[in-house]
Structures are given as structure tokens and as C-alpha cells.
Structure 1
């Protein structure tokens, strides 16, 4: 089974759309991911990531819902829930 995990985009590096990367927080675990598939992504956005590649930009409510599904499936081993955006 393939699994994509939501995370919060903290920062973006690179100008070339195919080489852009971003630091993404998965409940406090920070990973560098490719942003080639989501040229519209900007810091503060939530992205859905599979094997180091952000596949889509999602809203915070959807990110929380996915984390809840993963928790119910006992698939959250090293990541916690996504950080809440300030109001």
C-alpha cells in the first residue's frame, strides 16, 4: 500500500520549478522534499507528500483528517499531528 502524509511547508529553496525543494514539518519531524509537482506551494501551506515528493497542496482541515485516519490505522510511528496555523 502506498501512503502519502500531510506536512506543513516551512520554507522553499530554488527558483527552477523542477528543482524547487522545501523543508516540511511532519508533526515536528522536518524533511526536505521536492516541490516540482506543486509550483504554487508556499511557506505555511500544507502539502501531501509521498516518498519525498509533494504531490498536492491541501488545506489544514484535510491534513488533520488524514492524520486522524493514519492514527486510527496505527500508521503514525515517527510523526505527530500537523501543527496548527495561528488564527
Structure 2
């Protein structure tokens, strides 16, 4: 199962404005935010992530509700977090 997972933007990478460092359940990864070109995003904003790409900007309430739901489904969420831990987007 592939899930969209909420993450909080920690930093927009200065040398790669199409990438943001995002925190998801204790995991920090560079995420491509290029699909959000019509949105203004900044540290503290929440985004919905799927396979290393930000699909949309969401509000914190929606993010928290989604995280609560995802954590409640157990193994599928654990598998997605494990995949996120192993993923890497080249930054340089």
C-alpha cells in the first residue's frame, strides 16, 4: 500500500529551492517541493508527501488527523516510515 504522509517543512534548502528538509515521525528527509510551484511554502508548513514528492500543502489540523489515522492502521504506516528512512534524494 502506498500512502500520502504528512510532514512538516523544517528548512528550504538554499542551494536547491526545489527541495525542502521535512520531518515525518522523527525522520528527516529532503523532499521535492517542485510540484507546489503555485503554493508558498516555508518552515513550519505541513505538506502531504508521496514517494519523495510534496503533493499539496495542508493545514496542521489536517496533518495531525492524518498522522493519528495512519498510526492507527499499524503495519502499513510502519512500512511507509521504514521506506522513508531508507529513501534519499540527492541534494548536490
TM-score range, shorter chain: 0.7 to 0.9
> What TM-score, normalized to structure 2?
0.73
How far off its partner does 1:14 sit? Answer: 5.0
In terms of fraction of residues, the more helix-rich structure is 2
Trace 1:30-49 onto structure 2 (pairs within 5 A): 30-39=28-37, 40-49=40-49
C-alpha distance after superposition, 1:23-80 (max 9, x if no partner): 000022101010001132211100000000000010111011111111121133248x
Where structure 1 has 5 or more consecutive residues not aligned to the other structure, the ranges are 80-87
Where structure 2 has 5 or more consecutive residues not aligned to the other structure, the ranges are 83-92
